[in-house]
Amino acid sequence: MPAYFRNIPDFEYVSRNADTKQISEYQKVKNLFKRGKLKNDIFNDLTFFTKYKVIGDDRPDNVAFDVYEDETLDWVVLLSNNITNIQTEWPLNHQSFYNFLITKYGSEEQIHAVHHYETTEVRNTARTIIVPKGLKVPQNYSIEFYDADIESYTTVSNITTEITNYAYENKIEDEKRNIYVLKPSYLNVILNDIGESMLYKEGSTQYLSETLVRGENIRLYS
């Protein structure tokens, strides 16, 4: 994300280097507390975005190149999905996912052990859904319901299926693959907005310019 960090303004703080010769020497760094984000009226308006499925081991820069033909706009992909931690909020590649499973569950055997049980779909005679698919239930779950078409109560058992640790974790990863990307036609609008949001505003004693502020030197007052 080098292109994103170029937009971040600078901050000067009192130098703590051992070879500092004057108490008024400052060091300039990027102000990482200044974080760009999409305006709420844009972020909450789906007309600005389109659905996108992350395939295989694609990274944000791969998606940016596919959508914008510019891999340096990976940060736009992340901001569009409010992703702040790529390690936990972006789908893992194949090897990293396997390493995660081994670390969490300890062995191949435990990876494929049962995590929980879920329902299969149950319908009555009129084909109305009585129990939807995918409810988390005990293994021996059963249900009794009144079937109006046959005017009697019906008990249904053996309606659970096992979900392994692998299937459980893979579903979570697969959900991360469904993202939104900003439509290319709105890209310039967003780039201008982000650029403006990164600028400092006058009115503070720390203000030096739109791209630079300076922290107070408490050494001068001690």
The answer to whether 115 and 164 have CB atoms below 8 angstroms apart is yes
| Segments in the chain forming alpha helices (H) | 2-6, 40-43, 60-68, 74-80, 86-89, 94-105, 108-111, 165-176, 187-197
- C-alpha–C-alpha distance, residues 158 and 161, integer Å: 8
Average pLDDT, the chain: 84
CA 160, 161, 164, 166 dihedral sign is: negative
- Domain regions of the chain by residue span: 2-92+175-221, 100-171
CA dihedral 75, 80, 82, 86 (to 10 degrees): -40
Closest by alpha carbon to 43, among 6, 9, 78, 7? 78
Decide if 190 contacts 43 (C-beta within 8 A): no
Contact 178, 51 (CB under 8 A): yes
**DSSP state at residue 121:** P
- Encode the chain (222 residues) as per-residue pLDDT tens digits: 555 556 666 666 666 665 655 556 777 676 655 565 666 666 677 788 999 999 999 999 999 999 999 999 998 999 899 898 999 999 999 999 999 999 999 999 999 999 999 999 999 999 999 999 999 999 999 999 999 999 999 999 999 999 999 999 999 999 999 999 999 998 887 777 666 666 667 777 676 776 666 666 544 444
pTM value? 0.70
